[in-house]
């Protein structure tokens, strides 16, 4: 219902503004992340080009497929998970990016492909509520799975995505460079040991709530959400040991009528300035290698790209290929 109303309101604004200026639609996941994208990507872009950027969301992969198949694409630029972007490109759902408009020479090569560029990259990190643990504080991923040493509920991301499976394997002693191909049997066996203690978080706000209230005193979180909790004055423990990185990507659904403007918007979003400002506001790392110089050193130190020593890069190409298989097992295991 809410979406329908949003849609109607949105259709209304489209009709009104079409006569005045070109409008493109940017879709992302909502919350503070999209607020920052709107403020630091969309606004400067509109100011510079006069193109209106309408915000929509949340991102929905089923909807992207439906739009492209039906030939009525209303989302021009979409923020998606990077592994999904690679898969969607494979399935012919995306427009190739125009690198004469988007300057990819200074973008982190880990997050550049023909059909997608990173929008930001993030780490899954171990987080805990210090109030719940007197004495020893958790430090490693092994601690996250140790319910004797650190009793209580643990919270993990609910949807099948890079992160939790890697954490289970790392906690079980797999070396970071031996992670792929993922040993799913071993990962699920490890997760089985704490299954009754798991509370799943569905979105970032829920993860923050679970941790701050002590409902789940320990868990595996998007680093930006922990940073936001800290900024709001909540005492949070963060360990960057074996933080697992993955990225979001900007993609253009195939068949958009605003291709040119969409490419220009992506160019703005991945510019040094756009990436630096977004990173400072969101706690996620910039994918433009020149952004670091534009940022406050203290802020930089809190971002995933300052934690590369302990970093484990999720193999997003592996995920793109095996997304469906892993997903099917993941959801079946969850429901058992």
Partner 1 sequence: MLGAAVVSSRRSGLGFAMPATVLLVAFFVVPVALLLARSVTEPVLGMQNYATLLGSTTYLRIFFNTFMVAGLVTIITVLIAFPVSWALAIMPKPLAAILFGIIILSMWTNLLARTYAWMVMLQQTGVVNRILQALGVIEQPLQLTNSLVGVTIGMVYIMIPFMVLPLYGVIRKIDPMTLQAASLCGATRWQALTRVLLPLAMSGIASGALMVFVMSLGYFVTPALLGGTANMMVAELIVQQVQSLVNWGMGGAAAFVLLVVTLALYAVQLRLFEPVGSR
- Looking at 238-246, 276-284, 310-318, 324-332, which segment touches partner 1 (CB under 8 A)? 324-332
Three-state secondary structure call for residue 181: coil
Phi first, then psi: give them for residue 124, nearest 5 degrees. -80, 125
CA gap 27, 58 in Å, rounded = 7
186 binds partner 1 per the rule CB under 8 A: no
DSSP codes, 139-177:
-SHHHHT-TTTS-S-EEEE-SS-SSHHHHHHHHTT--GG
**In DSSP terms, which residues pair with 26 in a beta bridge?**
55, 77
Structure tokens at 226: 């922990």
Q: Which of 1/298 has CB closer to partner 1?
A: 1
CA gap 102, 98 in Å, rounded = 6
Interaxial angle between packed helices 316-335 and 82-90, expressed in degrees from 0 to 180 and rounded to the nearest 10: 100
Q: Least Å distance between CB 64 and partner 1?
A: 8
Kindly tell me which residue out of 13, 22, 178, 213 binds partner 1, with binding defined by CB under 8 A.
213
Q: Which of 217/304 has CB closer to partner 1?
A: 217
332 binds partner 1 per the rule CB under 8 A: yes
Q: Which residue has the tokens 């040119």?
A: 260
Q: Least Å distance between CB 334 and partner 1?
A: 4
CA gap 235, 131 in Å, rounded = 8
Q: Which of 1/19 has CB closer to partner 1?
A: 1
- Looking at 105-113, 140-148, 210-218, 278-286, which segment touches partner 1 (CB under 8 A)? 210-218
188 binds partner 1 per the rule CB under 8 A: no
61 binds partner 1 per the rule CB under 8 A: yes
Kindly tell me which residue out of 15, 19, 309, 335 binds partner 1, with binding defined by CB under 8 A.
335
How many chain residues touch partner 1 (CB under 8 A)?
A: 28
Kindly tell me which residue out of 194, 199, 289, 299 binds partner 1, with binding defined by CB under 8 A.
199
Residue 216's CB: how many other CB atoms inside 10 A? 24
Kindly tell me which residue out of 137, 206, 241, 321 binds partner 1, with binding defined by CB under 8 A.
206
Interaxial angle between packed helices 223-231 and 204-213, expressed in degrees from 0 to 180 and rounded to the nearest 10: 50
Kindly tell me which residue out of 20, 100, 134, 336 binds partner 1, with binding defined by CB under 8 A.
336
Q: Least Å distance between CB 330 and partner 1?
A: 9
Q: Least Å distance between CB 333 and partner 1?
A: 9
Q: Least Å distance between CB 121 and partner 1?
A: 21
Q: Which of 45/115 has CB closer to partner 1?
A: 115
Kindly tell me which residue out of 30, 31, 176, 327 binds partner 1, with binding defined by CB under 8 A.
327
Kindly tell me which residue out of 154, 158, 190, 259 binds partner 1, with binding defined by CB under 8 A.
158
Kindly tell me which residue out of 114, 202, 235, 310 binds partner 1, with binding defined by CB under 8 A.
202
Phi first, then psi: give them for residue 314, nearest 5 degrees. -65, 140
Contacts of 16 (CB under 8 A, 6+ apart): none
The answer to whether the CB of 250 falls within 8 A of the CB of 113 is no
C-alpha separations of 229 from 37, 58, 213 in Å: 19, 22, 12
235 binds partner 1 per the rule CB under 8 A: no
Nearest to 42 by CA among 236, 222, 266: 266
1 binds partner 1 per the rule CB under 8 A: yes
Chain residues in the site for partner 1 (CB under 8 A): 1-2, 60-62, 65, 153, 158-160, 199-200, 202, 206, 209-210, 213-215, 323-324, 327-328, 331-332, 334-336
């Amino acid at each position: 219902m809410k979406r329908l109303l949003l849609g109607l309101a949105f259709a209304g604004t489209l009709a009104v503004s079409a006569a005045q200026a070109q409008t493109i639609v940017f879709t992302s996941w909502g919350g503070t992340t999209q607020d920052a994208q709107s403020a630091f990507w969309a606004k400067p872009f509109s100011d510079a080009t006069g193109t209106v950027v309408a915000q929509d969301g949340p991102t929905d992969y089923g909807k992207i497929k439906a739009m492209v198949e039906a030939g009525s694409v209303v989302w021009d630029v979409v923020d998606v998970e990077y592994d999904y972007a690679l898969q969607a490109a494979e399935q012919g759902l995306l427009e190739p990016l125009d690198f004469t408009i988007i300057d990819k020479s200074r973008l982190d090569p880990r997050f550049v492909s023909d059909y997608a560029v990173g929008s930001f990259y993030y780490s899954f990190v171990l987080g805990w509520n210090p109030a719940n643990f007197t004495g020893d504080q958790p430090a490693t991923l092994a601690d996250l799975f140790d319910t004797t040493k650190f009793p209580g509920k643990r919270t993990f991301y609910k949807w099948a995505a890079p992160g939790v499976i890697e954490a289970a394997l790392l906690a079980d002693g797999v070396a970071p460079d031996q992670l792929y191909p993922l040993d799913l049997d071993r990962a699920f066996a490890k997760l089985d040991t704490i299954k009754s203690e798991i509370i799943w978080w569905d979105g970032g706000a829920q993860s923050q709530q679970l941790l701050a209230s002590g409902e789940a005193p320990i868990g595996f979180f998007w680093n930006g959400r922990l940073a936001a909790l800290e900024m709001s004055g909540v005492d949070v423990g963060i360990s960057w040991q074996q933080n697992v990185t993955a990225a979001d990507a900007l993609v253009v659904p195939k068949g958009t009528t605003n291709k040119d403007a969409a490419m220009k918007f992506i160019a703005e979003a991945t510019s040094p300035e756009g990436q630096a400002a977004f990173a400072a506001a969101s706690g996620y790392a910039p994918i433009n290698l020149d952004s670091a110089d534009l940022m406050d050193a203290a802020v930089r130190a809190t971002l995933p790209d300052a934690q590369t020593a302990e970093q484990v890069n999720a193999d997003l190409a592996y995920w793109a290929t095996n997304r469906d298989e892993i997903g099917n097992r993941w959801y079946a295991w969850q429901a058992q």
